[in-house]
């Protein structure tokens, strides 16, 4: 797995989520960043890391293109091991 530093604007979102977790501290409430938000964040970070050109829209199975023209589909997960502000 490639390790990288989250862009500051995304790191702030994860930090805010972590603060909500600590504030409520209720078993079963994990406040995960799921679904479309994580997918969109994954595409944005992948574009930044790998120089991808993202396609508008979505739902086609192709999220963008690499600089050499290859089509790319990005998959992201919001698990603590992948998306965390904790150091």
Whole-number pLDDT of residue 35: 67
- Digit-coded pLDDT (tens) for 26-50: 777 778 877 677 778 888 888 888 9
Other beta carbons less than 10 A from residue 74's beta carbon: 19
Number of H helices, E strands in the chain: 2, 3
C-alpha dihedral, 79 to 85 to 86 to 87, nearest 10°: 120
Report d(CA 73, CA 22) in Å as an integer.
Answer: 34
Predicted TM-score (pTM) of the model is 0.62
Instruction: State the Cα angle at 44 between 63 and 34, rounded to 5°.
Output: 90
Question: Does residue 33 contact residue 42 with C-beta atoms inside 8 Å?
Answer: no
Higher pLDDT, 83 or 35: 35
Whole-number pLDDT of residue 10: 87
């Amino acid at each position: 797995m490639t390790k990288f530093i989250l862009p500051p604007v995304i790191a702030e979102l994860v930090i805010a989520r972590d603060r909500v977790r600590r504030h409520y501290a209720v078993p079963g409430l994990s406040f995960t960043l799921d679904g479309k938000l994580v997918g969109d964040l994954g595409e944005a970070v992948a574009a930044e890391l790998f120089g991808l050109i993202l396609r508008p829209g979505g739902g086609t199975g192709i999220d963008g293109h690499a600089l050499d023209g290859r089509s790319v589909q990005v998959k992201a997960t919001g698990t603590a091991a992948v998306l965390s502000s904790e150091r």
